[in-house]
Amino acid sequence: MQLRHLLPAALLLSMVCCMSAQNSPGNTNIVAVRLIGPNGNPGPVVQSPRVVKTDAEWEKQLGPAAYRVLRAKGTEAPFCGNLLDNHKDGVYFCAGCGLPLFASSSKFNSGTGWPSFYMPFASENITEIRDVSLGMARTEILCARCDGHLGHVFDDGPAPTHLRYCLNSVSLIFKDEAEVKKMGAEVAR
Ligand SMILES: [Zn+2]
């Protein structure tokens, strides 16, 4: 094929690459997130290094069940997760990188079999992307710092947001109020 025939194709390909880089998470090394503040509530927005690891490193750190969900976008079976019936006060952190993702104050019983929240700990900490897999149009939610798959968000939740963040238990690590307050006290020091 002659060069003049190849050029438009190369140009088109580079445009597609640019578009996908812009829309996908993971296109900068720094993310703006909120960590646990001095009183245990969300702190100010801070610049945090993105957490990037190889698949082999993630698999070793997470183990097979959490790896399948967080890194391979799997879904755990309903009514099986260990955090579904957790009613303690505290904060749910990303099992991949430790970013605070949801507070117990927004947890509710959705009846779906998955831990459900009506708002995130901080909107900055969650990335939303359109997911059209399995023949459905859904909004996938990921950890903003490590791009770990968390679940999906739907618009059939309770007031005040009417959103339902539907989570996999294995994507989360729960720390109770005393542990969160201790983390906050260390920040304040
Ligand atoms: Zn994370």
Q: Catalytic site residues?
A: 166
The pLDDT tens digits along the chain (189 residues) read 444 444 444 444 443 333 333 334 556 899 999 999 999 999 999 999 999 999 999 999 999 999 999 999 999 999 999 999 999 999 999 999 999 999 999 999 999 999 999 999 999 999 999 999 989 999 999 999 999 999 999 999 999 999 999 999 999 999 999 999 999 999 888
Tell me the backbone φ, ψ of residue 107, rounded to 5 degrees: -80, 140
Diameter of the chain by CA atoms? 69
The count of structural domains within the chain is 1
CA of 138 to the centre of ligand 1 (A): 21
Q: Indicate the pTM of the whole model.
A: 0.84
Is residue 172 included in any domain, yes or no? yes
Is residue 123 included in any domain, yes or no? yes
- Please name which of 97, 156, 89 lies closest in space to residue 127, comparing C-alpha atoms: 97
Is residue 19 included in any domain, yes or no? no
CA of 53 to the centre of ligand 1 (A): 11
CA distance 72 to 68: 5
Domain housing 134: 52-188
What is the CB-side half-sphere exposure of residue 132 using CA atoms within 13 A?
Answer: 0
- Token representation of residue 161: 């947001």
Is residue 131 included in any domain, yes or no? yes
CA of 100 to the centre of ligand 1 (A): 8
Is residue 28 included in any domain, yes or no? no
What's the CATH code of the domain at 111? 2.170.150.20
Is residue 74 included in any domain, yes or no? yes
CA of 78 to the centre of ligand 1 (A): 22
